[in-house]
Amino acid sequence: AQKITQTQPGMFVQEKEAVTLDCTYDTSDPSYGLFWYKQPSSGEMIFLIYQGSYDQQNATEGRYSLNFQKARKSANLVISASQLGDSAMYFCAMSNFGNEKLTFGTGTRLTIIP
Amino acid sequence: SQTIHQWPATLVQPVGSPLSLECTVEGTSNPNLYWYRQAAGRGLQLLFYSVGIGQISSEVPQNLSASRPQDRQFILSSKKLLLSDSGFYLCAWEGGATEAFFGQGTRLTVV
């Protein structure tokens, strides 16, 4: 069975600094996808970035990038130049091309300090 | 493009009353569909998922049930709500491990 681990329950970061949110995963399937979501206080789950297991390059979307280290089974989210609006819960998730369901980590609460 | 609709956004129901939350997806076919529940400040608890019409997998035995009467429709139900059913419910669809999006969520309060 696949598993996602987020070891940072909470983080405080100064505004304009870069922040790295950790995510490690475990799966026996060679074909999988990794996702990051942002959940602000409103509750909606906002898709941020996706990385496929066979993608050669790290995914980037604006200020978000995914540091994909396949051998280490890690998929850390990097937010550059953090903003106050980045304060939210962040969830890492994975799915695979077999019969495994979409699996989430426990989340990291990020607080940006002015 | 794909969109997912979930309603209602907010619901207050008395204990013992029935529940029906609906989720529909547009712009895709044969998606995997999910129902999650989230307690305040906590992670996502997978309740049900479906890989096709009429196919439902239950993750946690509970007071809730799910149905998928159409390819792009997923319904979460209860015959009699309990206080412990209160929470934030999220519907999600996933396409081939390359896309996964959520509905806006339903905040359910059982009183």
Q: What Å distances lie between residue B78 and A8, B17, B58, CA to CA?
A: 35, 8, 14
User: Quick one: closest CA in A to B35, which residue?
Assistant: A102
- Least CB–CB distance from A43: residue in B49, B97, B107: B107
To the nearest whole angstrom, how far is the Cα of A73 from the nearest Cα of chain B?
17
Q: Are A10 and A111 in contact (CB under 8 A)?
A: yes
To the nearest whole angstrom, how far is the Cα of A14 from the nearest Cα of chain B?
22
To the nearest whole angstrom, how far is the Cα of A81 from the nearest Cα of chain B?
26
CA distance A79 to A89: 13
Q: At a CB cut-off of 8 Å and minimum separation 6, what does B97 contact?
A: A31, A32, A33, A95, A96, A97
Number of inter-chain CB pairs under 8 A, A vs B? 56
To the nearest whole angstrom, how far is the Cα of B44 from the nearest Cα of chain A?
7
How many Å from the N-terminal Cα to the C-terminal Cα in chain A? 41
The per-residue pLDDT for B60 is: 81
Q: Does A9 touch chain B (CB under 8 A)?
A: no
State phi, psi for A29 to the nearest 5 degrees: -85, 130
Q: Could you tell me which residues are beta bridge partners of residue A108?
A: A90
The per-residue pLDDT for B99 is: 82
- Using a CB-CB distance cutoff of 8 angstroms, which residues of chain B are in contact with residue A44? 102, 104-105
What tens-digit pLDDT sequence spans chain A (114 residues)? 789 999 999 999 999 999 999 999 999 888 999 999 999 998 999 999 999 999 999 999 999 999 999 999 999 999 999 999 999 999 999 988 766 688 899 999 999 999
The per-residue pLDDT for B71 is: 93
Residue spans of chain B under pLDDT 50: none
The per-residue pLDDT for B28 is: 84
- Using a CB-CB distance cutoff of 8 angstroms, which residues of chain B are in contact with residue A103? 46
Q: Does B74 touch chain A (CB under 8 A)?
A: no
The per-residue pLDDT for B13 is: 97
A residues 44-103 closer than 8 Å to B (CB): 44-45, 47, 50, 52, 91, 93, 95-97, 99, 101-103
CA distance A29 to A11: 31
Q: State whether residue B84 is helix, strand or coil.
A: helix
- Using a CB-CB distance cutoff of 8 angstroms, which residues of chain A are in contact with residue B3? none
* The residue count for chain A: 114
